[in-house]
A and B are shown apart, each in its own frame.
Chain A
């Protein structure tokens, strides 16, 4: 369940944008990737800030975190535990060792020929480049079309966009950075 935090001058606008984002996320099938959302909407100042926090702990994930590996004769046998990483793991293995040496036995079982376990243990999977672009797409769909002046802030887990119509002011930027930092801090608590 996504946690929403709403701040602004118009209750209807806040509630309707929360509802819109929920529908967009359901539509794109990425509701479970988001942990928290904060909106700051002040139509009188033409200010719109949205900040999203991604659920998955960020950074690169080592392979042993998402799969079990077993040394076998002639290679390594991998059993994937976290299904959502399966396509990315397979793609990385193909890229590193070529398609001839990586066999996908079943949906969640992979055999890599001629590669020892310790070599694979060092492999890390890049976090969600795809997810990030999907989130950006969701935010882009949500943002009011007229607010063309936009600034973005992001780190591994939090993405914040501040949008306005005429000119970005120092106050808007400061407020967006404050929201962004508070969302990052939220994850440490």
Chain B
């Protein structure tokens, strides 16, 4: 089982740490260097954590827990209307990034209104490509409890709902956070930051649950191992988009066009097997990317036997 951590320290002798990570069979997921300071998001086998911690202490750096690293989360509001700016969904997305998640903000085309709010099949399909979704539903209790819940009713990924009024519970969602409604300014008061923390905690719980489910029927390889192989591809190396490979709980998003690189991706070798045998490669709904869903160990080995 891999554990994702963040190293925060100086560049002096950081090569020793990088060598150690490689020796224990870990990966560097992201490397950000600003002058002499460096942050590394790393995935290492959980049992080797003490070794990494010892080395970090030796180098004078620190290890930061990033519980949401390796996830991509969609934060969705019924509208991104200009007159609602600044949106609390932006604050939520920004706060989750501090815990290592990669987040996107999304507004629905026709999500505003009470009886008129809708979500399209295409929007649902886009949302389902993420690991979890946060829906922000507004200030009116009547509207939220009767109409707006239909927006996320059929969504197949875990949903955390954020609403203004205090509610006991809402159907169809994995978690509920009350007390965050419309805002006309950034969320920077202490009680608002506490709310952001609460949302992050709920998301962490939801993601942990998802990870546990996956562990019961483990993936054939950890997504970071596929990332390691993908990083050697020329198309990924020349990709100028930020974070060309994004980890999901059960797969990856590679920001290279599906049609153009499908064959290359299918033939990619991971631990002696072709990627097409151990994962489902599909086109992404959003902008020239490819989604890779890694098959479970049972699926892969069962197929080989058959």
Contacts and interface: CB of A to CB of B under 8 A. Distances in A.
Interface of A: 9-10, 12-13, 16-17, 20, 23-24, 27, 41, 43-44, 46, 140-141, 144-148, 165-166
A146 B114 contact: yes
Interface in B127-174: 138-143, 164-166
Given A140-B83, A144-B140, 6 more contacts: A9-B142, A12-B165, A16-B139, A16-B181, A23-B184, A148-B113
A84 B117 CA distance: 44
Contacts of A16: 139, 164, 181-182
A10 B141 contact: yes
B231 to A, nearest CB: 43
A165 B140 contact: no
Contacts of B164: 12-13, 16
A10 B181 CA distance: 14
Given A12-B141, A16-B164, A43-B142, A27 B185 contact: yes
A165 B184 contact: no
A43 B138 CA distance: 12
Contacts of B263: none
B209 interface: no
B165 A147 contact: no
A13 B184 contact: no
Nearest to B178: A12
Contact of A43 (B83, B112, B117, B143): B143
A27 B140 contact: no
25 contacts: A12-B139, A12-B141, A13-B139, A13-B141, A13-B165, A16-B164, A16-B182, A17-B139, A20-B182, A20-B183, A43-B114, A43-B141, A46-B114, A141-B83, A144-B112, A144-B140, A145-B79, A145-B81, A145-B84, A145-B112, A146-B78, A146-B112, A146-B114, A148-B113, A165-B114
Contact of B184 (A24, A46, A140, A145): A24
B115 interface: yes
B117 A146 contact: yes
Interface string B183-204: 1110000000000000000000
B116 A146 contact: yes
A141 B184 CA distance: 9
Contacts of B185: 23, 27
B115 A165 contact: yes
A20 B184 contact: yes
A49 B210 CA distance: 45
Contacts of B84: 145
Contacts of B115: 46, 165-166
A15 B85 CA distance: 19
A29 to B, nearest CB: 14
A166 B117 CA distance: 12
A10 B142 contact: yes
A46 to B, nearest CB: 5
Interface in B31-87: 78-79, 81, 83-84
B116 to A, nearest CB: 6
Nearest to A8: B140
B39 to A, nearest CB: 36
Query: Which 3 A-B residue pairs are closest in the complex by CB-CB distance?
Result: A146-B113, A43-B140, A43-B142
A84 to B, nearest CB: 25
B140 to A, nearest CB: 4
Nearest to A21: B184
Contacts of A165: 113-116
Contacts of B139: 12-13, 16-17
Contacts of B113: 145-148, 165
A16 B183 CA distance: 9
A23 B188 CA distance: 14
A57 B304 CA distance: 86
Nearest to B83: A141
A72 B112 CA distance: 63
